[in-house]
Chains A and B, each alone.
Chain A
Amino acid sequence: MNAVATQASPATPTSSATDSLLEIRGLYKHFPLAEGFLEQLRFEKGRLVRRNDSVHAINGVDLAVRRGEALCVVGESGCGKSTVARLVMGLLSPSAGEIRYDGHRIDDLRGKRLLPYRQRMQMIFQNPYASLNPRMTIQQTLEEPLRFHHPEWTTPQIHDKVAEVMASVGIDPEWGKRFGHEFSGGQRQRIAIARALAVDPEFIVADEPISALDVSIQAQVLNLLMDAQAERHLTYLFITHDLAVVEHFGTRVAVMYLGTVCELADTRSLFARPRHPYTQALLSAIPRLEDNRPEHVRLSGEVPTPVHLPSGCVFHGRCPHVTERCRQEVPQLIATDDGNRVACHGVEEGRL
């Protein structure tokens, strides 16, 4: 695999490593479609051939999460945003590239050596109906990470900590005796957040934490996440498909399409002036309350399959401004005049 070699490090973070808590460089992740040898064999034109296709989930992603910010990763289903979250947390291992946390490489660590980082970074999952163990009480759920990361703590110490973290997310300590299924979706997500906060992390990866919740509950949970950020000086990597949430919550936004970052900008300038044609289409597709805005940018076609990636720019098949160069040459993330980064030949040439 020559993935790393072809990656000409165009987006090495310009700022020094000290202000970024997490750095992702040249990240690739491929999922083979057929693992076994026999599954790879196929008849083609009367001959037995061995083929091993894979899903190209992440294709060269460079990102840096700065200390204290909320970096939002947005994109449609299948763009690789959840895979980025899982790679960062070490739930998957990258095919190529590296992930550095606080200056130390963590993507090749396993077991005991990863443990100190596991305590500093925690994850909140999308579906609170699946992420809580149905056979554990809430008290047990919240105690487990503490007992795991602080084996030296006494039981009263652990109980105090659980009570404190329950209070901080607004759940009644009385609930500790109950099981996950006894709670509504919003309450379960609070418990999941409490579990993440229990070990006092500094970095939280939240993978669509509010998508499964109702509108009025979404606001409650989002407020809770913002309060926790202010009180505990947290840094977030926030994965979502909801741009309205991003506009509200994000410090910076990375827009992903088919496993690559197509635009990286601070939230205000991204919403004021989206540069990449895909970002423009995505922004115009949000259903807004006011009716007097221009008709949305209609994209033709749908996201291509990540098994056979398109040549050149991954977006060229749906882009209204496509040229011959876009079909052949992969655009790199380049800095624009306002300090943001866009991977688009049109922007680079000044025609967009």
Chain B
Amino acid sequence: MALLEVSNLDVRFALRQGEVRALRDVSFTLDRGERLGIVGESGAGKSVAAFTLLNLIAKPGYIAGGSIRFEGSDLARMSSRELRRVRGNRISMIFQDPMMTLNPVLSIGEQMVESLKAHRRISTQEARAIALHKLKQVYIPSPETRLDQYPHELSGGMRQRIIIAIALLLDPDIIVADEPTTALDVTIQAEIMTLLRELCEKHNVGLVLITHDLGVVSQMTQRTLVMYAGRVIEQGPTREIINDAQHPYTQGLLNALPQMTTPGSRLNQIPGSMPSLSNTPSGCAFHPRCQYRYDATGQPRRDCLDQVPEFVTSGNCQVACHMVRDMLAKEAS
């Protein structure tokens, strides 16, 4: 059994203008020590997916269906008391902006001791010793002084290291990282990513990495989930998705990268933009932007317009696309 098993997750936001369906039918699993990437553009629902993993969806959002099974028990149906034992302790989270995550009026040491004492019965002295040890693990220079410093005294990269140290504080089984390096510079991003990967490998911690950067995914993760307009449209081993993407959207995303064309020539662009979640197109949500939405005679394909595509298996990947389904059927016959 997988460590984390998300099935048919359905998340909605009840807004005055009507209901917005942020996640539809999202299913995936994560094994112990596995690193999974969730890729998509803004509005794809990847951050909602991350928050839902810890049942952190606040009103007006709610989980309308599906389950999040962690070691067999469903996080979607836990009481807040039970959830507190999981959050930060077994599954911890790293947020996007390192300035917003740390409490500006508490020193680094106080914040670390606070979360240790919330979960374990230990003395402040012992908690400080653990905190110091974790700061050393993320290569913070002169960790003893850092414990008594405040977040504003540290640079962005340093703060994000401290957040990683806090995420590791209680030796969790899973870390959920939501765009952990978007606010940082490239050289710092490379450092933080290498650090995160090494620590996950060393302590056999599972990682769910939310990002829009396909380059980051290809270097950090073993499996990848591509999201579009609240649905998973393709998932499989990262290597296979990067080298041989099947879904037209994933292909478009990869082909749009400047490194995929010769310098100076036009980039391969996907026309249009991500639909709003309150007004997703019928059938396959990608069809208005898809170049394969016409059949051989030049007519629009009815199935793309009307039916939500089911997952078909291609190689080791799962793809939700009518065109890919037809192609596979043709190969088989």
Contact = CB atoms under 8 A, between A and B. Distances in A.
B264 interface: yes
Q: Interface extent on A, as a size class?
A: 35 or more
B60 interface: no
Contacts, number: 112
Interface in B157-206: 157-158, 185-191, 193-194
A223 B239 CA distance: 28
B270 A76 contact: no
Interface in A176-220: 184, 186-187, 214-220
Interface in A247-305: 247-249, 267-268, 281-282, 284-291, 296, 298-299, 302-303
Contacts of A215: 41, 212, 214, 253, 256-257
Contact of A285 (B41, B155, B189, B268): B189
A216 B258 contact: no
A218 B256 contact: yes
Contacts of A284: 190
A216 B41 contact: yes
A248 B186 contact: no
B157 to A, nearest CB: 6
A30 interface: no
Interface string B250-279: 001110111101011011111101100000
A209 to B, nearest CB: 14
The A interface, classified by DSSP as helix, strand, loop or mixed, is: helix
A289 B189 contact: no
Contacts of A218: 256
Contacts of A291: 218-219, 239
Contacts of A267: 263
Contacts of B257: 215, 219, 244, 289
Nearest to A299: B187
A77 interface: yes
Given A216-B253, A248-B264, A302-B158, A77 B185 contact: yes
Given A214-B212, A226-B266, A285 B190 contact: yes
17 contacts: A187-B273, A214-B41, A214-B274, A216-B253, A217-B273, A220-B271, A222-B258, A223-B269, A226-B266, A245-B258, A248-B259, A267-B263, A286-B215, A290-B218, A296-B190, A298-B190, A303-B185
Rank and list the top 9 A-B pairs by shortest CB-CB distance, nearest first.
A287-B215, A248-B258, A219-B256, A285-B190, A76-B185, A214-B41, A219-B267, A219-B269, A216-B270
Interface of A: 76-77, 184, 186-187, 214-220, 222-223, 226-227, 241, 243-245, 247-249, 267-268, 281-282, 284-291, 296, 298-299, 302-303
Interface of B: 41-42, 155, 157-158, 185-191, 193-194, 212-216, 218-219, 239, 242, 252-254, 256-259, 261, 263-264, 266-271, 273-274
